[in-house]
Homo-oligomer: A and B are copies of this chain.
Amino acid sequence: MNELRIKAQNAKESARVLATKTTQEKNEALTLMAIQLMKEESYLLTENAKDVQIARKNGTNAGIIDRLTLTSERLQDIAEGLKQVASLTDPVGESLSKTTRPNGLHIEKVRVPLGVIGMIYEARPNVTIDASSLCLKAGNAVLLRGSSSAIHSNTALVAVVQRALEKTSIPVEAIQLIEDTSRETATEMFTLNEYLDVLIPRGGASLIQSVVKNASVPVLETGVGNCHLFIDRSAKPEMAISIAVNAKTQRPSVCNTIETILVDHQWADAHFQDLLHSLDEKGVAFVGDEKTQSYDQRIKAADEADWATEFLELKVALKIVDSVDEAISHIHVYGTKHSESIISEDAKNIQTFLNQIDAAAVYHNASTRFTDGFEFGFGAEIGISTQKLHARGPMGLEALTSTKYIVQGTGQVKG
């Protein structure tokens, strides 16, 4: 057996043990992990420096190097995150429903861990610890497959975490890293149904699509956000502009940032120039449909790809629409079912938009930037699901659980 299969088998066995651990035992492990991370800071920084040096040598861009780099402060944040996860309510064991049937059977539905979670993710080493801690808290073993560019950091982080687990009743194999970062190994994980209960890919669109297309293990898809803001004719101009600027520019590189602004033509007649001005001030580049060009000749013509693209940068597509229905139809064609917002004071249009838009999160008079596990009050986030099965939108600890029915009888047989 290769490394992957050996570790996957260990993960399955350890998941069985982990599922029986108490909240206190799991929390103690999380706390010890935080302490161990702090204790081994210099080792972790040394190992991380190797990845950073290789990335520099390879001419990796500054943004990626920044995300790859660990500092004393960042390690402190990661350790702090572990303590926060320890403080969250344990979802395992929660009773979701209880019924007694006419034949006297008592049926209770309880939350249980999923089992073994395969995480396939890209560069950031903090994901290694974030994901591990959430999986552990929800009673799951995790098999981590990070990218080769962070291999020294990830190997060191998992070694440190395992040294903490050695001091607990939780098997060290509950958190394992696949050190072979070849593409073949990742591909082999896709079909490891025998050992893995779920795969969670985190990273760029191509990574996620590759997992979705090729995996037979069930996938929690954390997807692309081609998010829209619709400014209705009744929208308060200051609110609409403030939300547009926030939703586009507050952090352009993330999935809950808007990519297209749909503007009602009547609102546009009065306020479009103000909107453009405010976006321009923040350095946003524009593309737009023909009607927008009639308002401002600086706007370049948008092509089909512009409506469908998650820019992840300071660029926005603009379109003038006749009605809420036209806005909804546009979103129906180009949206990725992530986060969509209407700015409006018209009760009927608001209701139509909130009802008819098919997305994980639909907003009224607020920025789409709030689609986030912390902002939603979950205390944690393993990713934002854009699929419709199991979990939709920000995923906290509950998304890392399954259920089981416990049926208690007194000798009942089926007639």
Specify which of A213, A360, A371, A413 lies most central, judged by the most chain B CB atoms within 10 Å of its CB: A413
> Is A168 interfacial (CB 8 A cutoff)?
no
What chain B residues lie within 8 Å of A167 (beta carbons)?
none
Are B389 and A218 in contact, with the CB atoms below 8 A?
yes
A339 to B365, CA, bound (A): 48
Is residue A268 contacting chain B, with contact meaning CB distance below 8 A?
no
Residues of A203-247 whose CB lies within 8 A of B: 212-214, 216, 218-220, 236, 239, 242-243, 245-247
CB distance from A228 to the nearest CB of B (A): 14
Interface string of A376-415 (1 = CB under 8 A from B): 1100000000011110110000000011111111111110
Contacts of A112 in B (CB 8 A): 358
Q: How far is the CA of A412 from the CA of B408 in the complex (A)?
A: 49
A contacts with B: majority SS:
mixed
Interface segment among A99-107, A172-180, A291-299: the answer is A99-107
Residues of B within 8 A of A246 (CB): 413-414
Interface assignment of A359: CB less than 8 Å from any CB of chain B? yes
> Roughly how many angstroms separate A107 CA and B377 CA in the complex, as a whole number?
10
Shortest CB–CB separation between residue A258 and chain B, in angstroms? 12
Tallying the copies of this chain within the complex gives: 2
Docked CA distance A404–B385 (Å): 11
Among the listed stretches A35-43, A53-61, A190-198, A307-315, which one makes contact with chain B, having 4 or more residues with CB under 8 Å of it?
A190-198
A259 and B106 CA atoms in complex are apart in Å by 24
Question: Which of A213, A377, A412 has the most B CB atoms < 10 Å from its CB?
Answer: A412
Is A370 within 8 A of B197, CB to CB? no
Closest to A341 in B: B407
B367 close to A412 (CB less than 8 A): yes
Q: Which 4 A-B pairs have the closest CB atoms?
A: A366-B409, A246-B413, A388-B402, A369-B414
Interface residues, chain A, with chain B CB atoms under 8 Å away? 16, 19-20, 99, 101, 105, 107, 112, 114-115, 191, 193, 197-198, 212-214, 216, 218-220, 236, 239, 242-243, 245-247, 250-251, 332, 354-356, 358-367, 369-371, 375-377, 387-390, 392-393, 402-414
